[in-house]
Amino acid sequence: MDLLGLVVMSDAPGKLPRPLRDQMQLASGGFARSWHVPWIESWRIPGSDPSVIPREARRVVDELSALIITPN
């Protein structure tokens, strides 16, 4: 198993408070790669289609897919 990196997801809408941004930066330092996915309201709705990837998360999914298909 290869660990590709760290994905951090926001737990609320809006800008991350400074202490959380600092913690995210600190935690990300332990990984070769890291990604941040913002708050996505549609993922909180029961019954939403999990195969639909919102625009806000598309870049992260695309980068992870590329790493899986062509690992370094």
Q: Is 26 exposed, middle or buried (0-12, 13-18, 19+ CB in 10 A)?
A: exposed
The predicted pLDDT at position 49 comes to: 84
Q: Which residues pair with 37 in a beta bridge?
A: 9
The predicted pLDDT at position 70 comes to: 74
In 3D space, the residue among 43, 22, 41, 30 whose CA is nearest the CA of residue 3 turns out to be: 30
- The pLDDT tens digits along the chain (72 residues) read 789 999 999 999 999 999 999 999 999 999 999 999 999 998 888 888 878 889 889 999 999 999 998 755
Q: Where are the domains of the chain?
A: 6-69
Question: From CA 31, how far away is CA 5, in angstroms rounded?
Answer: 5
